[in-house]
Amino acid sequence: MQIDTTAVADVLILTPRRFGDDRGWFSEVYRDDVFREAAGDVTFVQDNQSLSRAAGTVRGLHFQRHPKAQGKLVRCVRGALLDVAVDIRVGSPTFGRHVAVELSADNGRQLWLPVGFAHGFCSLQPDTEILYKVTDTYSAADDGGILWDDPDLGIAWPVAPDAAVLSEKDRRLPRLSELPPLFPYRS
């Protein structure tokens, strides 16, 4: 497995190797010892799957507050998406910066974002499906988010704001500047 660092500390891009022949291919998409060597002492407790019917569907930017904060390992199993991680760790040298990576069923890449990051994505193709592992279970009481098109974040989304398919909840999320300090940075 190839593991690449990004411009935002602690966010990793994982690209599993594929072994192919005339039948197709095989890939080891997750291996605990390899992942822990790169990301640290991480335990996953829940797997989630999401289907976005229309291209241009935006989900996010979401996070969970403590005590149910989540790290996520995201991969696309059908279609393609632009996956985004925003650093919301107060005191981090990259606070407010983001990583945007295209994940697709074809490229097999995965994005790791630890606790302290908001996560969102935009589907690039119809019927795009993602799977993601999380480090804590979902808690509606601890659910939070940031407005997907907050101009202070400077995310180059592949869809115009008036064309994005969004939930009502995601349309009403606050800007990053409106959030209280939630995640202290620990170097």
140-164, pLDDT tens digit by residue?
999 999 999 999 999 999 999 999 9
**What does pLDDT average to over the chain?**
97
For the annotated catalytic residues, the residue numbers are 62, 132
- So where are the chain's domains? 44-184
Write down the pLDDT at residue 73.
98
The terminus-to-terminus CA distance of the chain in angstroms comes to: 26
Predicted confidence (pLDDT) at residue 186 exceeds the cutoff of 90? no
pLDDT value for 134? 98
- Cβ neighbours, 10 Å, residue 68: 16
Q: Is residue 124's pLDDT more than 90?
A: yes
- The class that CATH gives domain 44-184 is mainly beta
Does the pLDDT value for residue 168 go beyond 80?
yes
Given pLDDT bands bounded at 50, 70 and 90, which one contains residue 187? confident
Q: Is the pLDDT of residue 112 over 90?
A: yes
Cβ contact 79:56 at 8 Å: no
pLDDT in tens, 4-36: 999 999 999 999 999 999 999 999 999 999 999
Confidence (pLDDT) at 136: 98
